[in-house]
Amino acid sequence: MDTNTQIILIPKDSTPEKIETSIAAFNQPLADLLTHIGLPTENLLSPIDERRKIIFSLESAISVLPVEDRAKAVYLSKFTVAVAVGLFDGAINFLWDETIKALRKLVSEFDLQYFLLIAHSVNSKYKSYTAADDLEGISDHDLLDICRRIGFISDINYKRLEYVNYLRNHASAAHPNDNAVTGFEMLNLLEACLKYAITAKPDHSVIQIKQLFNNIRTKEIPKEDFAAIGDDLIKQSQERLDDFLVSIFGLYVDTRTEQFVRKNIDRLTPHIWSAVSEDVKYKVGAKFGVYRLNGDVDRKDLVQKFLETVGGLKYKDEDSLAGELLEKLQNLKTVHFEWNNFYNEYAHAKSIANSLPAGGIPDAIRKLFVKVIVICYVGNGKGYRQGIDESAAVYYNQFIEGFTVSEIKEFLSLFKDAEFVTDFDYPQPDGRLRNITKFFKSKTKDIYINRVLDLILEYPARKLQSLADDKRYKEAMQYVK
């Protein structure tokens, strides 16, 4: 190599040819060094033309970041150096770590207690989390999902960030892999993380929820205000309303909660209970049995009082079995979305099989049961194992074979759930999803259910994540009762 070769990486002053020449100028010395010390050089660095695509678009891509923030963005410096050198897998790592850091900061500064109450409902293993430092223990997928549920991230942007998470797990330096990422893909990842996480701000409706939750905790609200508050609250999305109810229920049964806070909740909940989903009502009722079995008399009595206030005693579960299954399903879902799920789901699936009552799936956990088992059966389309934990598949098959019409109805409604449809645009999940849809058709003669099942089977390949937006699906689901 000519020792006088000038390395130029500033696009505005350089042609594509000069950029390629500059990159090549330090490629060879790197290769020579690795060869000298006996290390491999094959398939190590991304192609020069892929790096050039990013370098020429980088200034535009990061323009969304304020200048004052850009000056402190060490992660972007590392990202840029890794890209220029050709280590795209390392660049993804730097970007994703900052994305998770930004979301944790957003959560901490917005309303940490509200976030953690929802986290407790997502997975009971988070129930001891009380501080910002505890956020590091929440899995990346669960962090994204809770942010989506609260409203920090829209459904479509959740999908974008979940894709970055997928590449971080399967194409970055975080884990061994042979997957390649193109320059344009890297630019898309950078744009998604900057726009939808690192510079994200809560929308107005989320701020309203925060203000209400804060007021409930800090002051006694006049009784006559609750009808109007309830009317406004039920205009929120179903998922956000459900999460709000679960959060204030968590406050209600916390023995440290002050009495005026419970009075606020007692006055509000009758105005919103009827709009809360059946699934959440059963989850609340299931807590009675859990506290009863554990000898937690104070919390058991608080659940009783809560259900009496809203007229929901029929949802009370005297048994702790539903609560036990709820925790096991939450753990399985978290494991499924983590790295190496192909080897870790089996123990959780077996444990669920051991706890499932002979009488069928309890009402309190039916929706979650169908969601988690179908997600795990369908898989994520990654790896060489059909995208599933093949050891656990025997249990998933067993559970699905036992589905009744009630479970099939839950399956049909889940296409509106952003987390449920996360991996449906990959070939293997799409195929496995259609296989169980065919099986469900053999389980029922209901013409309305079969109309939706037929729509799923006829839908374009790898497009089922968009089914819930289809007019035909919305119309057909009106008759599935």
pLDDT at 71 over 60: yes
pLDDT at 15 over 90: no
Residues 231 and 234: their CA atoms lie apart, in Å, by 6
The token pair at 89 is 């897998």
- Is 341:389 a contact under the CB 8 Å cutoff? yes
DSSP 171: S
pLDDT at 70 over 60: yes
pLDDT at 10 over 70: no
pLDDT on residue 1 = 44
- pLDDT, tens digit, for every residue of 162-204? 999 988 887 775 655 567 889 999 999 999 999 999 999 888 8
Name residue, tokens 């994200």: 200
Closest to 361 in 3D by CA, of 332, 413, 394, 321: 321
Query: Residue 44: how many CB atoms within 10 A of its CB?
Result: 14
- pLDDT, tens digit, for every residue of 242-281? 999 999 999 999 999 999 999 999 999 999 999 999 999 9
pLDDT on residue 166 = 86
* H or E element that contains 441: helix 427-441
* H or E element that contains 343: helix 341-355
Residues 10 and 388: their CA atoms lie apart, in Å, by 45
pLDDT at 17 over 50: yes
CA distances to 100, 288, 300, 301 from 295, in Å = 38, 11, 8, 11
pLDDT on residue 341 = 83
Closest to 210 in 3D by CA, of 233, 227, 181: 233
CA distances to 136, 174, 334 from 133, in Å = 6, 22, 20
Percent of the chain with pLDDT over 90: 77
Stretch 7-15: mean pLDDT: 64
Average pLDDT, the chain: 91
Name residue, tokens 């093949």: 390
Encoded amino acid at 171, one letter? A
pLDDT on residue 6 = 62
pLDDT at 121 over 60: yes
Please tell me which residue, 27 or 222, carries the higher pLDDT value.
Answer: 222
- Is 342:388 a contact under the CB 8 Å cutoff? yes
pLDDT on residue 251 = 97
- pLDDT, tens digit, for every residue of 274-309? 999 999 999 999 999 999 989 999 999 999 999 999
pLDDT at 233 over 60: yes
Query: Residue 202: how many CB atoms within 10 A of its CB?
Result: 19
- pLDDT, tens digit, for every residue of 391-445? 999 999 999 999 999 999 999 999 999 999 999 999 999 999 999 999 999 999 9
pLDDT on residue 134 = 97
Give the DSSP letter string of 246-275.
Answer: HHHHHHHT-TTS-HHHHHHHHHHHHHHGGG
Residues 315 and 299: their CA atoms lie apart, in Å, by 16
Please tell me which residue, 97 or 44, carries the higher pLDDT value.
Answer: 97
Burial zone of 353 (CB within 10 Å; 0-12 exposed, 13-18 middle, 19+ buried) = middle
pLDDT on residue 329 = 97
pLDDT on residue 177 = 59
Q: Is 330 helix (H, G, I), strand (E, B) or coil?
A: helix
Encoded amino acid at 285, one letter? G
Name residue, tokens 């060879």: 28
pLDDT on residue 384 = 63
pLDDT on residue 346 = 96
Please tell me which residue, 174 or 133, carries the higher pLDDT value.
Answer: 133
Percent of the chain with pLDDT over 70: 94
Stretch 459-476: mean pLDDT: 97
Residues 90 and 157: their CA atoms lie apart, in Å, by 23
Stretch 18-24: mean pLDDT: 72
Q: Is 133 helix (H, G, I), strand (E, B) or coil?
A: helix
pLDDT on residue 97 = 95
pLDDT at 345 over 70: yes
